[in-house]
């Protein structure tokens, strides 16, 4: 006989068809009925088994655990047993590529492989876990992207394994970001990490005028230590900072370094960007990642918009003044957060911004002072300028160029920025004489013809 053994086990088809009654229409119909019945029975048994004996967890893409679990799934798990090796081979992978800049090369691309869409089986500790990653084309999220879920299924008896999975996945995610600062930016209606997490920027690498850094750092640390104080008094646990001053004075750099110091991430949004509307800002603030400083760059653009709106009733594609206030302390502001606002044009801002909870601390980060120039010199040439003589020559030259003096007789002072000083030193690496002789380049170019 050549039939496969399984068919024989169920029904002997040949014997049935030899039977004259069965060979007729009635026979075929009842055979169909029998088979359908058997199938339905098998299906409901399977469903029952699934209900009774399996547990599953569904993780939606919107959940913070989603990327952790995907990363955890892509961890290598070498299997020794024959069966496990065959069952758990993942054939379908998807790749996420991130590029980053390295200290000694222009860019580095890292490829991060994760289970692709579809079903896989993994073995973790003693348990087999079925993984199903799928895009649900029907359900769209509010960003218009298809909804995505990962579903993990295991035997009911092994259900406690999920605790381990999530604990391990979270630990893995934290470990990957240790010593790093994650910077989120906006894509559609989502916060997405901007490239790989960056190495923490040491606070010492940002040189502000005497005492400025310390006052902000201490204030933020004090705030973080006082959570219970706010809770007890029913006050939203929020603090806002406004850093203002000319371009290239280290505002953004300082905020990044502060985030590293506090072990926070940064969620950055540029208010002057077209397409960042009031609604979008409000929505994004309701879903800030945990332990994140929200950084609202170019806060003045919201005020410019108010004027435009007053004039023609249309706010344009950017954030308005009321949108900004609402984001800072309206219903959408969330109960807990630290916000930093930056601007180059303090004169455009409205005093309404300076209220507790909106902006609690305003700090000018200004043009380079003598103190900062000296510190920056030490940072670049401290190891070769041992007696500091060249530093004094450099500072004297800058004083001679009146780069540290105040405006006088209505004539504005030709101040310079820390970014420009850094540029000069970078151009003259290991070359103190070069830096001194090229110091005239620090005088800002006159823009009025």
The per-residue DSSP string of 362-394 comes to EEE--SPPHHHHHHHHHHHHTTT-TTSHHHHHH
Residues in the interface with Mg ion (CB under 5 A) total 2
Alpha helices in 313-364 (DSSP H): 321-329
How far, in whole angstroms, is CA 100 from its chain's centroid? 15
- In the block, tokens 């929200």 appear at 294
Residue 388 has a CB neighbour count (10 Å cut-off) of 14
Q: How far apart are CA 139 and CA 147, in angstroms?
A: 6
Pick one of 115, 197, 240, 248: the residue that binds ligand ATP (CB under 6 A): 248
Q: Are 341 and 362 a contacting pair, CB within 8 Å?
A: no
Site string for ligand ATP, 29-68 (x = CB under 6 A): ----------------------------------------
Q: Which is nearer to ligand ATP, 181 or 249 (CB)?
A: 249
Q: Which is nearer to ligand ATP, 150 or 403 (CB)?
A: 403
Select the binding partner of residue 265 from ligand ATP, Mg ion, none (C-beta < 5 to 8 A, by kind).
none
Choose among 350, 349, 439, 340: nearest CA to 396.
439
Task: Provide, rounded to whole angstroms, the least separation between the CB of residue 300 and ligand ATP.
Answer: 11
Residue 72 has a CB neighbour count (10 Å cut-off) of 20
Give, as ranges, the residues between 239 and 268 that touch Mg ion (CB under 5 A): 251-252
Select the binding partner of residue 344 from ligand ATP, Mg ion, none (C-beta < 5 to 8 A, by kind).
ligand ATP
Q: Is 252 in the site for ligand ATP (CB under 6 A)?
A: yes
Site string for Mg ion, 332-361 (x = CB under 5 A): ------------------------------
Residues in the interface with ligand ATP (CB under 6 A) total 14
Select the binding partner of residue 62 from Mg ion, ligand ATP, none (C-beta < 5 to 8 A, by kind).
none
Q: Is 247 in the site for ligand ATP (CB under 6 A)?
A: yes
User: What are the angstrom distances between the C-alpha of 362 and each of 22, 86, 225, 349?
Assistant: 92, 62, 21, 12
Q: Are 377 and 428 a contacting pair, CB within 8 Å?
A: no
Select the binding partner of residue 292 from Mg ion, ligand ATP, none (C-beta < 5 to 8 A, by kind).
none
Q: Are 342 and 240 a contacting pair, CB within 8 Å?
A: no
Q: How far apart are CA 15 and CA 430, in angstroms?
A: 96
Tokens read off for 419: 């970014």
Q: Is 259 in the site for ligand ATP (CB under 6 A)?
A: no
Helix or strand holding residue 109 (H, E) = strand 105-115
Select the binding partner of residue 305 from Mg ion, ligand ATP, none (C-beta < 5 to 8 A, by kind).
none
Site string for ligand ATP, 333-362 (x = CB under 6 A): -----------x------------------
Give, as ranges, the residues between 186 and 225 that touch ligand ATP (CB under 6 A): 206-208
**Helix, strand, coil content of the chain in percent (nearest 5):** 45, 25, 30
Give, as ranges, the residues between 398 and 427 that touch ligand ATP (CB under 6 A): 418-419, 422
Select the binding partner of residue 418 from Mg ion, ligand ATP, none (C-beta < 5 to 8 A, by kind).
ligand ATP
Task: Provide, rounded to whole angstroms, the least separation between the CB of residue 106 and ligand ATP.
Answer: 17
Comparing every residue's Cβ against ligand ATP, the nearest one is: 250
Q: How far apart are CA 272 and CA 415, in angstroms?
A: 26
Task: Provide, rounded to whole angstroms, the least separation between the CB of residue 256 and ligand ATP.
Answer: 8
The HSE-up count of residue 307 (CA atoms within 13 Å, CB side) is 7
Contact residues for ligand ATP, defined by CB under 6 A: 206-208, 247-253, 344, 418-419, 422
Contact residues for Mg ion, defined by CB under 5 A: 251-252
């Amino acid at each position: 006989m050549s039939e496969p053994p399984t068919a024989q086990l169920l029904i002997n088809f040949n014997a049935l068809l030899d039977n004259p009654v069965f060979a007729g229409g009635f026979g075929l119909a009842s055979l169909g009925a029998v088979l359908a019945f058997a199938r339905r029975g098998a299906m409901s048994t399977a469903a029952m088994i699934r209900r009774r004996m399996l547990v599953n967890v569904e993780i939606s893409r919107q959940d913070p655990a989603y990327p952790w679990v995907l990363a955890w799934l892509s961890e290598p798990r070498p299997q020794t047993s024959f069966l496990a090796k065959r069952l758990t081979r993942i054939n379908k992978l998807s790749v996420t590529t991130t590029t980053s800049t390295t200290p000694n090369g222009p860019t580095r691309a890292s490829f991060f492989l994760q289970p692709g869409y579809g079903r896989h089986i993994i073995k973790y500790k003693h348990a087999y876990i079925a993984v199903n990653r799928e895009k649900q084309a029907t359900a769209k999220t509010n960003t218009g992207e298809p909804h995505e879920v990962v579903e993990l299924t295991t035997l009911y008896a092994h259900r406690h394994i999920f605790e381990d999975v999530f604990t391990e996945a979270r630990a893995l995610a934290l470990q990957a970001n240790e010593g790093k600062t994650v910077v989120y930016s906006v894509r559609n209606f989502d916060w997405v990490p901007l490239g790989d997490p960056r190495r923490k920027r040491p606070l010492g690498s940002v040189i502000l005028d005497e005492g400025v850094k310390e006052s902000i750092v201490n204030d933020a640390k004090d705030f973080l230590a006082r959570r219970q104080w706010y809770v007890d008094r029913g006050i939203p646990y929020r603090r806002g900072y406004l850093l203002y001053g000319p371009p290239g004075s280290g505002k953004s750099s300082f905020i990044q370094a502060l985030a590293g110091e506090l072990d926070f991430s940064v969620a950055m949004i540029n208010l002057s960007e077209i397409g960042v509307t009031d609604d979008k800002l409000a929505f994004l603030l309701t879903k800030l990642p945990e332990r994140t400083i929200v950084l609202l760059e170019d806060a003045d653009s919201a005020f410019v918009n108010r004027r435009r709106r007053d004039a023609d009733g249309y706010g344009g594609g950017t954030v308005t003044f009321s949108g900004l206030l609402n984001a800072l302390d309206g219903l959408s502001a969330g109960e807990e957060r630290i916000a930093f606002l930056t601007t180059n044009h303090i004169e455009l801002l409205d005093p309404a911004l300076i209220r507790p909870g909106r902006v609690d601390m305003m700090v000018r980060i200004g043009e380079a002072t003598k103190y900062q120039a000296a510190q920056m010199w030490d940072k670049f040439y401290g190891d070769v300028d041992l007696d500091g003589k060249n530093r004094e020559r450099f500072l004297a030259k800058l004083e001679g160029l009146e780069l540290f003096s105040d405006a006088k007789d209505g004539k504005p002072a030709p101040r310079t920025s820390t970014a420009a000083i850094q540029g000069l030193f970078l151009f003259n690496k290991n070359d103190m004489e070069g830096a001194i002789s090229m110091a005239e380049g620090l005088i800002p170019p006159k823009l009025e013809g």
